[in-house]
Amino acid sequence: MKWFITLMTAALMAVAAPAMAQTPPDVLVVGQVAEPKSLDPQAVTATNDFRILVNLYDGLVRFRKGTMEVEPALATSWTISDDGLTYRFQLREDVTFHDGTAFDAAAVKFTFDRMLEADHPFHSTGPFPLAFFFSAVEEVTVVDPLTVEFVLREPFAPFLSALAYPTGLIVSPAAVAETGTEFGRRPVGTGPFRFDAWEPDAKVAISRNDDYWADAPELEAVEFKPIVDAAARTAQMLAGEIDLMVEAPAANLATFRADPGFVVHEEAGPHLWFLILNTKEGPFADKRVRQAVNYAIDKQAIVDGVLKGSASVAAGPIPRAFDWAHDETVEPYPHDPEKARALIREAGAEGATLTFYVAEGGSGMLDPVAMATAIQADLAAVGLNARIETYEWNTFLSNVNPGLEGKADMAEMAWMTNDPDTLPFLALRSDAFPDNGGFNAGYYSNAEVDRLLGEARRSTDQAVRGDLYKQIQRIVHDDAPWAFIANWKQNAVSSAGVSGFELEPSFLMILRDVSKG
């Protein structure tokens, strides 16, 4: 009943509350979907955190606005050896960190060695869950103060894209040395904004870096407010208490579109919402039951009813946004309850009880409780009893990421990625089990998938890579280690006084060109 009251309150506010700007001038107030876990770019995995980080830090390269193409940032140029093993970067001069220390090649080496070298004196400031992105790096060398070189163990096609991702953002060595494990609470980068304060469960405040190496932002400051409940986020947007909200509920988009005081932003991107299935133990150790779940769930009804058409039904682990790597011949599992029941009977799993981990909210999680309730009903219709356990986002991640063994049979998950390699390499590879530091929380293992993933990341020919990912999609679709639900078209809502804001296909939030009238 609580959810009904909350939604009714939001609906009443939509009618009764005019959109009146109550936020300070030149301060952008952003409604986030969750409290950040950390502001150390190497220590986090969630897009919710990344949206803050890309405004505090820079990387050697970055995604060009509006694209997934890489352009210079702290590096002005780079060269790649003919064998694809050596990347040499020429660095930008006269750049300083927010603590006044100099950015140079030694800072780049420090950032990556801290993450990749177990014997580094500050490796204990981790953990670094996405260090997998740079597992191909054998050595980082300071050639001179403005030149740094990466030597790879083998060719790695997504290397520049990985550097543009938030895990590749450069940290201040002096600040890490001073704060140690508290660096994630007192971050120091070179970005267009500098860190001011973090008030738990209230806001992260950042302010303009007037010494930024490029044009300084127009905004004086930004406040990121964690507003977990989507209805509450909507209500605050309608009341003028925030200037920008991400991941607006699909049901409220029509209200915002009809009001000239707001602008609705939408952008397709590489997103996948899925269910991790525990392939190691319990009913989902049997492929037939995993396939049955995919047949049982009416994904189109979820897309149309819960998500109001803001997504499309997913067909496998490679999002459609990677059109060169997505196999269009692989169709989504159709809604076929009779087929699901037959597979469940064949596997002897009738009446099985499933523990189902559900998030209250989080990056890319859409409407997770409503989606889980719909899924629970679909599974009940084919004889599976899914028992929902709901958790706050960071608690949810701390339960799911270490693996589902001994805890749950299935869990919601969403990923927004920078390359078709990222999600399957980190979450489907045999070597990516949680005890190896990966995100294969369902313990899926297929030697052929492992082999194809290895080949795909070593190939520098996009056509060859695309064919390999299509093969992976076909195998994983059949093995069904996940229930493939939806590919989302991200959205945000801003007040009409906000200009210069655009959603990015990378799902990052770039605020350096944003202003507020």
* pLDDT surpassing 50 at residue 9: no
Q: Which two tokens stand for residue 54?
A: 């890309």
In the predicted structure, residue 262 carries a pLDDT above the cut 70: yes
Question: Could you give the count of Cα atoms lying within 13 Å of 298 in the half-sphere of its Cβ?
Answer: 15
Write down the H helix ranges in 39-188.
Answer: 47-56, 105-116, 159-164, 173-179
Decide if pLDDT at 378 tops 70.
yes
Q: Average of pLDDT values for 253-260?
A: 94
Q: What gap in Å lies between CA 408 and CA 357, rounded to an integer?
A: 7
Among 241, 240, 266, 243, CA closest to 253: 266
Q: Is residue 317 predicted with pLDDT exceeding 90?
A: yes
Residue 287 has pLDDT above 60, yes or no: yes
Return the closest-CA partner of residue 390 out of 413, 359, 355.
359
pLDDT score, position 268: 78
pLDDT reported for residue 16: 38
The mean pLDDT of the chain is 93
Q: Is the pLDDT of residue 52 over 70?
A: yes
Q: In this structure, are strands 70-72 and 75-80 parallel, antiparallel, or unpaired?
A: unpaired
Q: What is the mean pLDDT of residues 336-363?
A: 96
pLDDT of 385: 98
Give the pLDDT confidence score for residue 15 in this predicted structure.
Answer: 39
The per-residue pLDDT for 12 is: 38
Q: Are strands 410-416 and 271-277 parallel, antiparallel or unpaired?
A: antiparallel
Tell me the HSE value of 396 on the side-chain side, using a 13 A CA sphere.
25
Residue 7's pLDDT is 39
Pairing of β 147-152 and β 137-144: antiparallel
Which distant-in-sequence residues (6+ apart) come within 8 Å of 516 by Cβ? 25, 26, 27, 28, 218, 219, 243, 497, 498, 499
**Residues in Cβ contact with 377 at an 8 Å cutoff, skipping those fewer than 6 apart:** none
pLDDT band of residue 265 (cuts 50, 70, 90) is very high
For residues 42 and 166, give the distance between their C-alpha atoms in angstroms, rounded to a whole number: 8
State the DSSP string of 381-438: HTT-EEEEEEE-HHHHHHHHTT--TTT-SEEEEEEE-SSTTHHHHHHTSGGGSGGGT-
Sequence-ordered alpha helix ranges (H) in 226-383: 230-238, 253-257, 287-296, 299-301, 337-347, 368-381
Amino acid making up residue 145: P
pLDDT band at 84 (very low <50, low <70, confident <90, very high): very high
Distance CA 174, CA 247 (A): 36
CA distance 488 to 271: 6
188 — pLDDT class (breaks 50, 70, 90)? very high
Lowest mean pLDDT segment, chosen from 90-94, 208-212, 351-355, 506-510: 506-510
What integer pLDDT is reported at residue 418 of this predicted model? 83
Does the pLDDT value for residue 43 go beyond 80?
yes
Domain architecture of the chain: domains with CATH: 34-198 (3.90.76.10), 271-490 (3.10.105.10)
What 3-state class would DSSP assign to 137? strand
Distance, CA of 465 to CA of 56 (rounded, Å):
34
- In this structure, of 7-21, 143-157, 441-455, the range with the lowest mean pLDDT score is 7-21
Q: What is the CA radius of gyration of the chain?
A: 23
Q: Is the pLDDT of residue 20 over 70?
A: no
Give just the sign of the alpha carbon dihedral 142, 147, 153, 156.
positive
Maximum pairwise Cα distance, the chain = 68
Is residue 130 within 8 A of residue 167, CB to CB? The reply is: yes
pLDDT at position 362: 86
> Percentage of the chain surpassing pLDDT 70?
96
For residue 207, the one-letter residue type is: S
Written as six digits, the tokens of 385 are: 């009893």
